[in-house]
Structure 1
Amino acid sequence: MELRSQSRKTTQSMGNDNCGCLVGWPKAKKSKTDQVVSSGNWAQLPSVILYDVFSFLSQKDRINASSVCRNWRHVIFHPNFWNEFTFTIQAGQHEKTKYLSRTLSSLVKNAVIKFDSLTPVCMTEFTALLQNLSTNTKLKSLMLEPSHCRLVEPVEYCFDTLNYFSNLSEIIKIFCNFPLEKFSIGGCEELCQFVPQYLERLSNTRPEQVSILGLASVKDDPSNYLICEVDAVLFSAFRNLKILSIDYDALCDDVLDTLNGAENLKRLIVHVHGVWFGHPGTSNEAWAKFKQVHPTCEFRLTLIHAYEEVFHMENGILQIQMPLTHLKVFFCEHINVDVLNLLSSWYPQTLRSIMWVDSRSPDLEGTWDLVNRFRDAEINEPDPLVMAAWLCTKLEEVVLLGYKYYEEDLVAIARLRGNTLKNLEVASEDIISNEGCKIPTNLIEEMSKIFDRPWAPLKSSELHPVICNPTDGDSDEYLQPKVLADLHL
C-alpha cells in the first residue's frame, strides 16, 4: 500500500499538461492535423486526408458526406471518384440535370445517359449534356439508354426534325474521334442511319481498345424504315471486340467472316424487324466456321415487332449451325409453335433463354394459340417448352407472357430443370388449372420447393400494362430495358 501511494504521489507531483505530456519531458510539436482534430474543426481536415477517407466510401456515401461543408464538397470532385457515372434526364429534375452536366461532364470517364426521349425539354438537356461531354477527351465510353426507341426534337428545333438529327449525329461523331472502349446508340432508330460513319471514325482512332459496340436499333414501324447498309470491312479493325449488337439488315456471311478476326468475341446480338427483298441471309457454312473460331460466343437473336417474319423465321433467319443461346420475341402478335419445337432439336447444347412476350389478344383468341395446338387429336406432340426443359441442358430462363399455359406443364418444366432454372415468368391469369381459374396454393408451394427459393406467377399488377392490353402504355417501356441489358457483361 505504501509503494502504490508513493508512486501515485510522485506522478501527481510531476503533473500533466493539456496535451498529455509529462512535465519535465520535451513537448512534441503538434501537426496541423493534430490541431484540427483536437480543436474539433473537422471542416479543416487537409484534402489529402479527406481524399483517403472518401476513397473508402461508396459513391452514394461520398455524395452524402460531401454535403457536410464546402471543403468536403470540394474533395468529391476529384477525377478518381468519377470513373463511372449515370446521368439521368427526366422531367422535374432540370436544375439537378444542368448542375451535374456542368460539373461532371469534364470529369467522368465512363458515361451512361438515361433520358426521356419523348419529352422535348429532356431532349434539350440531353443535347446540352452531349455538347458538354464532347469536350472531355478523357472519355472512355458513351452508352445511351433512351426511354423509347424514338427521339423527338427539342422545342428549339420544332418543325425542323431533319436538321436536328443531322446536328445530333455530328455531335456524336465527335465522340467517335476519341479512343473509346464502349459505345452504344441505345437502340435509337434515328441514329442507326449513321452507323457506318461511327464505325469509320472509331476505326481511325484506337480500334484495338474497343470492347463493346451497341449498334442495333429498335424500329418504330417495322414495315417502313430506311435500310442502313454496313460494309463488313468496317468491323475488321476491332480485333478485341467482346460484345457487338447489330440489326439483321447488316448481317451476312461476310460480316460473320470478318468477325472471325475478333479474337475475344463473347456475345453477338442481332435484332430482327423485317427482312428486305434481296437480303442475302446467312449460311450454315458461315455459322459453322463462326462456332469453330468462337466456341464460347453467345448468339442472341431478338425479334421486335417482326409481324411478318415471326411466321416463317425457321425458313431463313434461323440456321441449325447458329450457336443460339438466347431467343427473344417481343410483341410480334403471334407465337410460332413450329419454331418452339425446333429449339430442343437444333440447339440442345447452347440454348439458355427463351422469352416470348406479347400483349394479350383483345378478343383473347390469340392467347390460346399455344395450348390449342396440342388440343387437336391429330397432333400428338409434347409441349415444346417442356421438351426444351428436358433436352436443352443449359436452359436457365423461360419467360412466356401473353399466352395461356397449362399448370401441369409448368410443373414439368420445374421438375426437369430444378434450381438450374434461374427465372420462370408466367402470368397468374394465363395459367390453366384443373381447379379452375384460381391458382392453387399447392402449385406455388411445389414450385418453390423444386426451385429451392420462393416462386409465384406474376399478378396483373406486376405486369406492364401493355402486356395486359395492347392499347395501354408503350411496348418500348417494357422492351428497352430488356434489349439494353444485353450490352452488359
Structure 2
Amino acid sequence: MLQLNRMKRSRTKCHSFTPSEGRSKKQRVALPVYVPALSNPSQRSTEETWGNLPHHVVLHIFQYLSLVDRARASSVCRRWNEVFHIPDLWRRFEFELNQPATSYLRSTHPDLIQQIIKRHAQHLQYVSFKVDSCTESAEAACNILSQLVNCTIKTLGLISTARPSFMDVSQSHFVSALTVVFVNSKSLSSIKIDDTPVDDPSLKVLVANNSDTLKLLKMSSCPHVSPAGILCVADQCHGLRELALNYHLLSDELLLALSSEKHVHLEHLRIDVVSENPGQTQFHTIKKSSWDALIRHSPQVNIVMYFFLYEEEFEPFFCEETPVTHLYFGRAVSKEMLGRIGLNCPRLVELVVCANGLEPLDEELIRIAERCKSLTAIGLGECEVTCSGFMAFVKMCGGRLSQLSIMEEVLIPDNTYNIEQIHSEVSKQLGRIWFPDMMPTW
C-alpha cells in the first residue's frame, strides 16, 4: 500500500494533465495533488503513465484526497473518473450545509449532492449531516434525507454546530424525512439525533424496521419523545448497547427493560439532567431496586450523568446508592450534595465540579476518596479546598489518579502546606510531575 509520507519524499507537483479525450490546452484540468516524478516524461504520455495505473492504486490515492481534490482528479482521464465512482469511496460521507451570510465554512456543492443521490445513495453507509445555526441549512438536510430512498445506511448523525437549528424545522417535515431513512435502511446500527423534533411515532417506525441491528441511540434534548417512546425502543431493540437521553425519559420501567434476559449487556448510559428555569421542572426519583437490576445484568456499564441544575433542584438525587460512574456538574453544586456523592456513589470513576462556593470541601473530598475506590479522575473549578485537605485526598487516592485538574485558586494555603509545597508533594504521591492549573491572564 502506498503511504503519502513516502510519496512526499520524492514528488513533483503536477500542474495540468491532458485527458485522453483529446481536449485542447484551454481545457486542461488543474489537479492540486502531488504525484511521483516520471523517470522519463518525454517518452511517456500522460495517458500511459497515469491512465494505466491499477484501479486499486488510484483508489488508495483517492482515499487520501479531500473531496474537492478528488472531484478534480476524476477529470484527469476516463479511468480515473471510473475510480471516482467506485462504491468504496462513497461508504462514508459528511454533508456540510452552511449559509454564506452566517458561516465562513463551505457547504457541500449542490451538484455533488445531486450526483450522490443519483449514483451513490445505495452505497452510503456512514452518513452525517453537519448544519450551522440557520433553519435553511436544517431544512436542506431534511430535503436530502427525504431523497435517500435506496440507501443502506448503518450510521446516521444529525449535528448542529452552533444552536440546534433542527428544532426550527417543521416537525412534520423533519419526521417525514427521517422516516424515509428509517424505513429504507433496514440495517441502522448507530443513530445520533440530539436536539431534534423526533417523536414517538417515528421511533416506532425505527423499531419496526431496525430492531435487530440498532446498537447505539443518542437522543438528548428531544422534547417530543415521551418515556413510552424510549421504552418501546428498549423493549424491542435487544441489541442496544449505548443510550443517551434526558433524565425525564429515564424510568424504572426503562431500566428493567434494559435489564431483561433478552437484552444484551448495556455498555454506556448517558443521562442529561437539565433545568432551564429554577423550580419549573419536577424531577422524579429512580428506585434503588431498578438500578440494582441494571447492574446485575450489565455489571460493566458506564453510567454518565451531566447535571445542569440549580442548587435547590438536587433534592431527589443520590439519596440512596446510585451506580453512577461519571459525574459532571455544569453549575454550582452544594456542599451537602457532594457529601451525598461520597456516601452513595461507590462506583464513581470521574468527578468534575464546575463550582461550589466559599465553603472548603475537605471533608467531602476525603469521604469520596475513602468510599469511591475506583475514582481515577477529578476536576475542581470555582471551589475551595485547604492545602492539607487536598493532600489528604491525594494520599488516599494515590497513583490511581490518572487525571487531577485543580485550579490554583481552589487551593487555600494553611499552616502545613503552601502552594509551592503542594506541587512537589502531590508530584511525589502521583509518581509524576504535577502542577495546579492556572487561570489565563488574557
Q: Using the alignment, how far apart are the partners of 1:63 and 1:448 within structure 2?
A: 49
Q: Using the alignment, how far apart are the partners of 1:56 and 1:453 within structure 2?
A: 43
Q: Which residue of 1 aligns with 2:11?
A: none
* Cα contact 2:166–2:197 (8 A) shared by 1: no
Quickly say closer, same or farther: Cα 1:121–1:252, change in 2 above 3 A.
closer
* Cα contact 2:95–2:108 (8 A) shared by 1: no
Cα deviations across residues 397-418 of structure 1 (Å, max 9, x unaligned)? 2122233344444444444434
Quickly say closer, same or farther: Cα 1:393–1:58, change in 2 above 3 A.
farther
Deviation at 1:329, TM superposition (A): 2.0
Quickly say closer, same or farther: Cα 1:70–1:415, change in 2 above 3 A.
farther
Quickly say closer, same or farther: Cα 1:57–1:385, change in 2 above 3 A.
farther
* Cα contact 2:190–2:215 (8 A) shared by 1: yes
Of 353, 356, 364 in structure 2, the residue corresponding to residue 356 of structure 1 is: 353
Please give the residue correspondences for 1:69-468 in structure 2 after superposition, counting only pairs within 5 Å.
70-71=75-76, 72=80, 75-90=83-98, 91-96=103-108, 98=110, 101-102=113-114, 106=121, 107-116=123-132, 118-131=133-146, 134-135=148-149, 137-148=151-162, 150-151=164-165, 164-177=170-183, 178-179=185-186, 180-186=188-194, 188=195, 190-191=196-197, 194=199, 196-217=200-221, 228-231=226-229, 232-261=231-260, 262-273=263-274, 281-305=285-309, 308-315=312-319, 319-320=320-321, 322-331=322-331, 334-348=332-346, 350-358=347-355, 367-369=357-359, 371=360, 382-434=362-414, 440=419, 443-444=422-423, 447-448=426-427, 450-451=429-430, 455-461=434-440
Deviation at 1:205, TM superposition (A): 0.8
Deviation at 1:66, TM superposition (A): 7.0
Cα deviations across residues 187-222 of structure 1 (Å, max 9, x unaligned)? x1x525x1x22320111113110000112228xxxx
Quickly say closer, same or farther: Cα 1:173–1:406, change in 2 above 3 A.
farther
Q: Using the alignment, how far apart are the partners of 1:447 and 1:202 within structure 2?
A: 52
**Which protein shows a greater Rg?**
1
Q: Using the alignment, how far apart are the partners of 2:303 and 2:252 within structure 1?
A: 15
Which residue type is aligned with residue 220 of structure 2?
A
Of 48, 51, 54 in structure 2, the residue corresponding to residue 49 of structure 1 is: 54
Quickly say closer, same or farther: Cα 1:420–1:79, change in 2 above 3 A.
farther
Q: Which residue of 2 aligns with 1:158?
A: none
Deviation at 1:41, TM superposition (A): 3.3
Identity of aligned residues (%): 16
- Point out where structure 2 has 5 or more consecutive residues left out of the alignment: 1-38
* Cα contact 1:208–1:238 (8 A) shared by 2: yes
* Cα contact 1:113–1:144 (8 A) shared by 2: yes
Quickly say closer, same or farther: Cα 1:448–1:89, change in 2 above 3 A.
farther
Quickly say closer, same or farther: Cα 1:233–1:135, change in 2 above 3 A.
closer
Q: Using the alignment, how far apart are the partners of 2:441 and 2:126 within structure 1?
A: 33
* Cα contact 1:86–1:111 (8 A) shared by 2: yes
What SS does structure 1 have at the residue aligned with 2:236? Answer: coil
* Cα contact 1:303–1:330 (8 A) shared by 2: yes
* Cα contact 2:325–2:350 (8 A) shared by 1: yes
* Cα contact 1:43–1:69 (8 A) shared by 2: no
Of 44, 51, 57 in structure 2, the residue corresponding to residue 39 of structure 1 is: 44
Q: Which moved more, 1:203-212 or 1:296-305?
A: 296-305
Which residue type is aligned with residue 272 of structure 1?
V
* Cα contact 2:311–2:333 (8 A) shared by 1: no
* Cα contact 2:324–2:345 (8 A) shared by 1: yes
* Cα contact 2:348–2:374 (8 A) shared by 1: yes
Deviation at 1:445, TM superposition (A): 5.2
What SS does structure 2 have at the residue aligned with 1:201? Answer: helix
With the length of structure 2 as denominator, give the TM-score of the two structures: 0.72
Q: Using the alignment, how far apart are the partners of 1:230 and 1:241 within structure 2?
A: 17
Which residue type is aligned with residue 289 of structure 2?
E
What SS does structure 2 have at the residue aligned with 1:239? Answer: coil
Q: Using the alignment, how far apart are the partners of 2:311 and 2:225 within structure 1?
A: 18
* Cα contact 1:272–1:306 (8 A) shared by 2: no
* Cα contact 2:74–2:84 (8 A) shared by 1: no
Which residue type is aligned with residue 203 of structure 1?
V
What SS does structure 2 have at the residue aligned with 1:191? Answer: coil
Q: Using the alignment, how far apart are the partners of 2:268 and 2:283 within structure 1?
A: 23
* Cα contact 1:311–1:336 (8 A) shared by 2: no
Q: Using the alignment, how far apart are the partners of 1:87 and 1:457 within structure 2?
A: 42
* Cα contact 1:47–1:75 (8 A) shared by 2: no
Alignment RMSD, CA only?
A: 3.9
